[in-house]
A and B are shown apart, each in its own frame.
Chain A
């Protein structure tokens, strides 16, 4: 049987949106797929050596449940509807939301992004950083993982043109 292939484009740089590319890539690799991810624009944040800066923002995100990861059951199941205007005025609101989210992630047995990314690397998922974005945002190669490649749109198509699954995330 010929090896199946999947190409992903990862464009989001928040903690929540870091999950889909790494979950799909690691699972596809476990199913025997050859996988490549092209990280562009904000997606480049997912290739940084230090992932501790990844944040989640409830601001302007009405689909995000705002629940506490601790306390009695009635409190944990309550959705705290905090208006955008209040969220934007509270200093450090994003950091608080992020630490609550990380706690929820750990409580529910969901892997950390660090772990999922390591699993992808172990499974030989190929990661390519968009050189144009690196230049555009004046970033340094030294900020990123050592085991990645840098390329442009043509590099992406070289692999993507011959895949079974191709997704833009």
Chain B
């Protein structure tokens, strides 16, 4: 899937992936998609919770050998 901006949050731990995600989304306009990569296992649940509470849509969430990729569409 296409995305408009990419955030590399690999190696960062809670709450940094979420804080960086919030900041990156701020640089997008409504409807644009942000791709986030992370290595923090806690970010899977956290990203869902973040999306739910902020109204941004978590379009995709996947895992591949300890690396997580999320696609968020800005509200």
Contacts and interface: CB of A to CB of B under 8 A. Distances in A.
User: A interface, by DSSP: helix, strand, loop or mixed?
Assistant: loop
Contacts, number: 32
Q: Considering the complex of A and B, which 4 residue pairs feature the smallest CB-CB distances, nearest first?
A: A30-B22, A109-B13, A27-B15, A110-B13
B16 A31 contact: no
Instruction: Select the residue from A26, A31, A109, A110 with max chain B CB neighbours within 10 A.
Output: A109
- Interface size class on chain B is 10 to 19
Interface of B: 11-16, 18-19, 21-22, 39-40, 50, 53-54
Nearest to B10: A109
23 contacts: A26-B15, A26-B19, A27-B18, A27-B19, A30-B15, A30-B19, A30-B21, A30-B22, A30-B50, A31-B53, A31-B54, A32-B53, A32-B54, A109-B11, A109-B12, A109-B13, A109-B16, A109-B39, A109-B40, A110-B14, A111-B12, A111-B15, A119-B19
A111 B21 CA distance: 15
Interface in A26-44: 26-27, 30-32
Interface string A10-37: 0000000000000100110011100000
Interface of A: 23, 26-27, 30-32, 108-111, 119
A45 B13 CA distance: 24
Contacts of B11: 109
A37 to B, nearest CB: 15
Nearest to A24: B15
Given A27-B19, A30-B22, 20 more contacts: A23-B14, A23-B15, A26-B19, A27-B18, A30-B18, A30-B19, A31-B50, A31-B53, A32-B53, A32-B54, A108-B13, A109-B12, A109-B16, A109-B39, A110-B13, A110-B14, A111-B12, A111-B15, A111-B16, A119-B19
